[in-house]
């Protein structure tokens, strides 16, 4: 599955960008929320997400790169999120935060950064609907893929298959058409691509090429 990241969109032409996603079609719309605190960048808030929600029925995969995400579950749910993914170190009580997300009737995920251990999954895997492996350091689009992520993807694939087969495995960061197949082959269910789609001469063609790839 493919989840284009709208962080790489031309924000002056969002309707046109969403026309591409709808026609592709994309499986998910990946929405990166940054607070300028947990990561050194600021993207947008729930009001923008709510407006964008009107442009598509594709599920919104909302990645919260923010401190204290538990305080914003309700507002992003109200804005139209279908998945909320948090970073474990941003919330004091991770299990409570995951349960609060699931209590809204939407999917809960956690994100693991490139240099971080997978140990947290041993204690949360049963509560997760999605695990997001970051193949770049979070905060900016257009970074290069960190190849050691492939080993991490393989390890998480094995854990999911053993402990929670319904959980989705997503990978985000530096994914292009020339390395996406390796990411799928390592075990990913969903790949996130931003600049590789919206930075292409023909974004719709790029999206369709991603969709032609298969595990």
Residue identified by tokens 């193949």 is 135
Q: Are 196 and 206 in contact (CB under 8 A)?
A: yes
The answer to whether the annotation marks 109 as part of a ligand binding site is: no
Does the annotation mark 185 as catalytic? no
The answer to whether the annotation marks 174 as part of a ligand binding site is: yes
The answer to whether the annotation marks 93 as part of a ligand binding site is: no
Does the annotation mark 19 as catalytic? no
The answer to whether the annotation marks 24 as part of a ligand binding site is: no
Q: Which residues, including other chains, have CB under 8 Å from residue 12's CB and lie 6 or more apart? A: none
The answer to whether the annotation marks 32 as part of a ligand binding site is: yes
Q: Which of 32, 35, 61, 129 is catalytic?
A: 32
With CA atoms as reference, report the closest residue to 100 among 69, 140, 124, 57.
69
Q: Which of 10, 172, 185, 202 is catalytic?
A: 172
In the sheet that 190-193 helps form, which strands lie side by side, from edge to edge?
Answer: 2-4, 190-193, 168-172, 130-134, 107-112, 83-86, 60-65, 29-34
With CA atoms as reference, report the closest residue to 167 among 198, 196, 133, 200.
133
The answer to whether the annotation marks 210 as part of a ligand binding site is: no
The answer to whether the annotation marks 80 as part of a ligand binding site is: no
The answer to whether the annotation marks 105 as part of a ligand binding site is: no
Per DSSP, the three-state class of 3 is strand
The answer to whether the annotation marks 87 as part of a ligand binding site is: no
The answer to whether the annotation marks 195 as part of a ligand binding site is: yes
How close are the terminal C-alpha atoms of the chain, in Å?
10
Pairing of strands 190-193, 2-4: parallel
Q: Are 168 and 110 in contact (CB under 8 A)?
A: no
Binding site: which residues? 5, 30, 32, 63, 139-142, 172-174, 194-195
User: Residue positions in the annotated binding site for a divalent metal cation?
Assistant: 30, 32, 63, 172
Annotated binding site for substrate: 5, 63, 139-142, 172-174, 194-195
- Active-site positions read 32, 172
């Amino acid at each position: 599955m493919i989840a284009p990241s709208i962080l790489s969109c031309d924000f002056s032409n969002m309707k046109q960008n969403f026309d591409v996603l709808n026609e592709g079609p994309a499986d998910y719309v990946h929405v990166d929320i940054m607070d300028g605190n947990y990561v050194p960048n600021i993207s947008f808030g729930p009001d923008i997400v709510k407006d964008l929600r009107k442009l598509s029925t594709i599920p919104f995969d909302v990645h919260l790169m923010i401190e204290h995400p538990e305080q914003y579950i309700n507002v992003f749910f109200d804005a139209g999120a279908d998945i909320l993914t948090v970073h474990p170190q941003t919330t004091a009580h991770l299990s409570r935060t995951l349960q609060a997300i699931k209590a809204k009737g939407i999917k809960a995920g956690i994100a693991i950064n490139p240099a971080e251990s997978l140990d947290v999954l041993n204690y949360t895997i049963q509560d997760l609907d999605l695990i997001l492996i970051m193949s770049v350091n979070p905060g900016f689009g257009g970074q290069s893929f960190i190849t050691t992520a492939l080993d991490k993807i393989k390890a998480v694939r094995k854990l999911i298959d053993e402990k929670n087969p319904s959980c989705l495995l997503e990978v985000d960061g530096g994914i292009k058409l020339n390395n996406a197949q390796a990411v799928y082959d390592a075990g990913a269910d969903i790949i996130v691509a931003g600049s590789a789609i919206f930075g292409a001469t023909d974004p719709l063609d790029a999206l369709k090429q991603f969709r032609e790839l298969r595990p």
